[in-house]
Amino acid sequence: MSELHPLLARQLRAAARMGADGRADLDALIELVDQSYKDQDRDRRLSERANALMEEELHGANARAQARMQSLLNAIVAGIKEGVVVTTQSGQIVLANSCAEALFGLSSAQLAHMPLETLFQAVEGPNPVAAAGVIRGGALHVSGSCTPVEITASAIADGDARQTLWLIRDITEQLRWAAQQQENTRRTEDFARSSSDWFWQSNADHSVIETFGDAPPGAENYLRHGLSGSPDTDGLSVVLAERQRLNEALAARQAFREIQVCLSRDTAISWYAVSARPMVDPDGVFLGYRGSVRDISAAKAHEEELTSARKAADDANRLKSHFLANMSHELRTPLNA
């Protein structure tokens, strides 16, 4: 016979001690086996109860943690100054914050389980429910108005469920500002086109020059050479008295005004007055110059005409004085004789 189970062997020995002749008493053996089963049942019930209590405690702790996380999430979502919407994989809304409610004019309860795509109009790009990244469209208010918005989509996972988080930002002010900037640019361009002046901009070392308006051919090269402080060349000359003033302003990175420049091309001579102000970034770092150039050729020609006329008048006056002096001398000579 194979070796008995240790528990059964102990029970047989106990039953034998109870027998009068040292042999196992059957009734005693049955009672011992029965008690053993009862003990096992009690231990199993205690173990099951302990496991149930532990599982209940774990479920409770998990529920409390989820409640805290949900409360924290709700607080974060409520504090975001943009519309926040969470949708299911099919595009049904399951969460919306107060900003989203204001955008659509509907409560969270009214938004619940609505298809997100029905709340947008004129979306640029793919359908917003299927799209990822940043798209633009119009948020439809229950009153019928449409607010321009920028929409950012991010995939989130909740266990096996796949959801999408949508950030909906009102870009009304951004579009208004962009339109204002475009209008300012157009206005500046119109002024530049209608002005006889032309404009220029350089980088920090003046190696790059941009011109705007009716600049003469080669203006970028002439300005680059003039701002470098190099000797006059290639048909460009700065009035000597102005060269020192220009060099001092460039060295100190200060503004300068009305620097007179003579530009000769072939047989034509043109005069310009160059002015500029330094550009700096928010930290005060020098970025270059931005300025204007005014054609003063007509003024210089008029100035030369006045100078010539004045010189001619002075010469005439000198001749006249010389003639009168001679005549006076000639008239006095006979009388003196």
Res 209: pLDDT: 81
Higher local confidence (pLDDT), 278 or 2 = 278
Question: For the residues 331-336, what does the mean pLDDT come to?
Answer: 56
Res 318: pLDDT: 72
H helices present in the chain, as ranges:
6-18, 26-79, 98-104, 108-111, 172-194, 219-227, 240-252, 297-336
Beta carbons within 10 angstroms of residue 58's beta carbon: 10
- CA 74-75-79 angle, to 5 degrees, is 115
Which of 63-72, 181-190, 284-293 has the highest mean predicted lDDT (pLDDT)?
284-293
- The pLDDT-based confidence of 130 (bands split at 50, 70, 90) is very low
* Beta bridge partners of residue 84, listed in sequence order: 167
Alpha-carbon distances, residue 212 vs 58, 74, 158, 192, 207 (angstroms): 73, 54, 57, 7, 17
Question: For the residues 209-237, what does the mean pLDDT come to?
Answer: 69
Beta carbons within 10 angstroms of residue 321's beta carbon: 10
Residue 196 has pLDDT above 90, yes or no: no
Task: Output the CA torsion 114→118→123→129 (10° steps).
Answer: 40
CB 70 within 8 A of CB 158: no
Query: Model-level pTM?
Result: 0.45
Question: For the residues 252-267, what does the mean pLDDT come to?
Answer: 82
Res 129: pLDDT: 46
Question: For the residues 275-300, what does the mean pLDDT come to?
Answer: 89
Domains of the chain, first to last: 6-62 (no CATH), 81-176 (3.30.450.20), 196-301 (3.30.450.20)
